Structure 1
Amino acid sequence: MIKCHLSRIMGERKLKIVDVARETGVNRGTVTRLYHETASRIELDVIEALCLYFDCQVGDLFEYQSDSDTGSF
């Protein structure tokens, strides 16, 4: 599974979903789904906009975690 750290990053900077959406141009619904980790896919331009806005690398936003504990792929 892919873990999204957007909520942690936003919390550290005391940002709201609407602030990030407005400043990055990313759809508010997309930011909300990433924040709550319910997104099933994401466009590369969204990742790029978030990385530029937060001055971070893709690996700072997303992390791969093995599902080996559950036995699924």
Structure 2
Amino acid sequence: MIKCNLSRIMGERRLKIADVARDTGINRGTITRIYNETATRIEIEAIDKLCEYLDIEVGELYEKVQKK
């Protein structure tokens, strides 16, 4: 299973979804789905923008975890 750490990262940095959407140009709905881990497909460009904006690597944003 793939786990997204966006909510944790944004929480640690006290970032709001609206701010990230405005600063990255990524649709707010897209960020919300990534944040809530309900997204079924994510454009590589969106992942790239998030990683660049947050100054992180893809492996910090997403990780593979064992199913529970």
Q: Which residue of 2 aligns with 1:12?
A: 12
Aligned-pair Cα RMSD in Å:
0.8
Identity of aligned residues (%): 63
For structure 1, which runs of at least 5 residues remain unmatched after alignment? Answer: none
- TM-score for both structures, normalised by structure 1: 0.89
- Pair 1:46-2:46 in alignment: yes
Provide the residue aligned with 1:3 in structure 2. Answer: 3
| Rg comparison, structure with higher value | 1
Post-superposition offset of 1:66: 2.5
Structure 1 residue ranges, 4+ long, deviating more than 6 angstroms after superposition:
none
Name stretches of at least 5 consecutive residues in structure 2 with no aligned partner.
none
Q: Determine the C-alpha separation between the residues in 2 that align with 1:65 and 1:14.
A: 25
Structure 1 position 5, deviation (Å): 0.3
Q: Write the deviation string for residues 8-39 of structure 1: whole angstroms up to 9, x where unpaired.
A: 00001101000000000111000000111101
SS in 2 for 1:3: strand
Whichever residue aligns with residue 3 of structure 2, its letter is: K
Question: 2-side partners of 1:66 and 1:2: how far apart?
Answer: 9
